[in-house]
Amino acid sequence: MPNRTAGDLAIFLGCPIRGEAHITLKGVASPDRAEADDLVYLGSDRNSERVSRSAARCVITSPDLLVSGKTLILAAQPKLAFARAAGWLVPSPPIANGVHATAVVAESARLGAGSAVGPFAVIEEEVVVGEGTQVGAFCFLGRGSELGKGCRLYPRVTLYEGVKIGANVVVHSGAVLGCDGFGYVTDQGKHWKFPQMGDLEIADDVEIGSNTTIARGSLETTRVASQVKLDNLVHVAHNVQLGERTLVAAQTGIAGSSIIGSDVVIGGQVGIADHCRLEDGCVAGAQAGIPSGKVVRSGQVVWGTPARPIARFKEQYGWFARLPELAERVRNLEESGRRGH
């Protein structure tokens, strides 16, 4: 990779620069770990001293947070600019190069130009792999699955038959996409498996964390819209719909046929029961429990189990925390009453 300068970065970001535009940048780091040719950022005044002491010569900061003795790239949103800069300065290393000799690729599979397949990967019949997509070691792509261009599948990702994935999707190790949903009909002491014959469609620019599972639809389609980001160890059940730009933190489970709107934020370890609806822009705080069929309205912030508006949760929890004190007061009143008699 050619040497890149602070001036080059400022042009890429479309931001003004103050200081020495010619200095070379090779990486990104935190202020405490940075070397002279690393880039750091300053997002708040509380980190000003750390950045000032840092060995880094170039800082992304806002116009109202200036640092002396450094080359400054001035951005309205320093953290966002730093994230973009990191991808430009330090692109992700390749997952695979070419088609490894140990990979098993069906004759009817179609590999796009510049795509790569790692060791011991299996690509079944009629799979389509888009241009520039990288498939890591030990991945399994089931019959008829499709991957758009520029995707990255880290080692040991599994796609069941017929899964459709858009462009620039990142799937981390251990994720399983398109597995059967959890559906049974019980009769006379036996569980009969309900058909799990639907589809799974994942749109562009989605990122799926390690060991996350997304089930195919039962008789319909499970859909993950563009720019959705799923953390590690998330479970998405059959027929779930995830709207654009929604964020889901680790260890969250979303039960069947729930509909999650766009720009929703779901904290860690949230449990969402079946047939719920979370409208656009709402927030479910960590460990919230959302019971079957509940609707969380647009823009609402909920917490607790069962989930309720955060102001109500805080009020109720405050009383809950005072129960020992209140119980003691009740006991004292009862004793006073008995003595009075």
Residues tagged active-site: 238
The one-letter amino acid at 157: V
Closest C-alpha to 201, from 218, 217, 189: 217
- Characterise 262 by phi-psi region: left (phi > 0), alpha (psi -120 to 50), beta (else): beta
Contacts of 109 (CB under 8 A, 6+ apart): 123, 124, 125, 126, 127, 128, 129, 141
13-29 core/surface letters (b: 16 or more CB in 10 A; e: else): bebebebebeeebeebb
Write the DSSP symbol of residue 127: -
DSSP per position, 255-277: -TT-EE-TT-EE-TT-EE-TT-E
